[in-house]
């Protein structure tokens, strides 16, 4: 199975800060990577697919990038509603696998 290693496990930042979350795949997955947000008590939401394509309706402050087996989710200007957990997921092979998640808090 492909392992997805996500970092950091948690972070705290101020409103307006630039936030970066990284995900490393244990082997090549091309650009077969998605990012999800799960706000507290809510259903997960798709943010990005194919490593860098923004899903419909997702604010443009979210962006994704890829470099070989390293993937990055960036929030350009953190907002209070961005509090929650973020997960990467590879869909190159089955079983699909998620990173362990990053909890984002606002100071």
Q: What SS3 class is residue 51?
A: coil
- Per-residue binding string, another protein, 7-36, x by CB under 8 A, is -------------------------x-x-x
Q: How far is the CB of 16 from another protein (least distance, A)?
A: 27
Is the Cβ of residue 69 or residue 102 nearer to another protein in the bound state?
A: 102
Round to whole Å and give the CA distance between 101 and 6.
Answer: 6
Round to whole Å and give the CA distance between 53 and 63.
Answer: 8
| Cβ-contact 97, 12 below 8 angstroms | no
Residue 37, interface with another protein (CB under 8 A)? no
Residue 101, interface with another protein (CB under 8 A)? yes
């Amino acid at each position: 199975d492909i392992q997805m290693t996500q970092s950091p496990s948690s972070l705290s930042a101020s409103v307006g800060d630039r936030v970066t979350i990284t995900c490393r795949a244990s082997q090549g997955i091309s650009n077969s990577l998605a990012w999800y947000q799960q706000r507290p008590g809510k259903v997960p939401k798709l943010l990005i697919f194919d490593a860098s394509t923004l899903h419909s309706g997702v604010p443009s402050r979210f962006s994704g990038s890829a470099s070989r087996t390293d993937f990055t989710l960036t929030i350009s200007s953190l907002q209070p509603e961005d509090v929650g957990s973020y997960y990467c997921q590879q869909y190159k092979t089955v079983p699909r696998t998620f990173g362990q998640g990053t909890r984002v808090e606002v100071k």
